[in-house]
Amino acid sequence: MIKVGIIGATGYTGVELIRILSSHPRAELVGLTSQTYSNQGFDSVFPSAANITGLVLEPQDAGALAERCDVIFTALPHGVSMDVVEEIVNKGKKVIDLGADYRFDHMDVYEKWYKIEHKTPDLARKAVYGLPEIHRELIKQADVIGNPGCYPTSIILGLAPLLKKALINPDTIIADSKSGVSGGGRGLNLAFHFAECNENFKAYNIGVHRHTPEIEQELSKLAGEKITVSFTPHLVPMTRGILSTIYAALYKLPSTAELLELYREFYKDEYFVRIHPAGQYPQTKWVHGSNFCDIGLTVDHRTNRVVVVSAIDNLVKGASGQAVQNMNILFGLPEKTGLDFGPVFP
């Protein structure tokens, strides 16, 4: 059994990790930390977890937790993971960080967009960006995995086949994404109050969203050249889900059927990426509660563009499910272990 600890267990991604790992056949939860709810039973803070785990939330002590674990998930805000990850790695244990601190190849980019100095730059440069469908072989050897952001997961997977085959003009990429409110985290924030977001639909952080450099970093690797994208996120009044609609100009004009065949071939061995047939476009309801990324597309011959639609659950494939997928890779397990459950519908 893989002994697992979670630092920051009472945020949405921490709670989702516990839901998934509690039924994982090869994982055993041995420690959960929380600064806010320390010394309380997890199931007393979250009654939904009754009969799922009887663990008591501990004060944060990364070193002590690492002594009992094989791998630790850090579900902490950006800037906070840096305070614990190095200590865990120094004890010879694996870390999967669900924040932004270990997603970037270049620390100046991180520091520019997140407005803080990186405390462990050498460790960050050795970390692996944990998108399994793209970086599987590197993940197998990693000590630290920077689990991807939710928006980047939907956009990178949506564009990867086109960029690898150099079929689109990278200067023309526009990503228009919508997210449910759980993407904003569990902390109190006026923007996510019911009366503020119910019956409302808004764009936010236009041109300055912190997922932008992460998207550009990974798309640039796929294309083999520096890419700059136009990315606009939106908040929609639902709890879970991300839908990204991505536009790009095509160098040539293949048929929709030809591009769909390219996608099926590219993702033929990827259980968690599902390509929809022509004329069928993903909906967030189709992936709700699952680790799937659903993709549909069309060639718009009138505008010489391809339109790709990508849907994920932001808390599963966009966060905790993908983190467990990375854990499975680290420990040589089939990737769908503990994740082979279907979406919740309706």
CA-wise closest residue to 120 among 140, 97, 141, 139:
97
CA-wise closest residue to 209 among 127, 142, 150, 293:
150
CA-wise closest residue to 175 among 203, 157, 156, 155:
155
Catalytic residues: 150
Residues 6+ apart with CB under 8 A from 22: 29, 49, 52, 53
Query: How many Å apart are CA 225 and CA 5, to the nearest integer?
Result: 39
Residue 268 φ/ψ, nearest 5 degrees:
-60, -30
Residue 2: both structure tokens together = 């893989």
CA-wise closest residue to 290 among 266, 255, 324:
324
Give me the sign of the Cα torsion angle 221, 222, 224, 227: negative
251 neighbors 169 (Cβ within 8 angstroms): yes
The DSSP result for 238-289, as a single string, is: SSS-EEEEEEEEBSS---HHHHHHHHHHHTTT-TTEEEPPTT----GGGTTT
The count of C-alpha atoms lying within 13 angstroms of the C-alpha of 249, restricted to the half-sphere facing its C-beta, is: 7
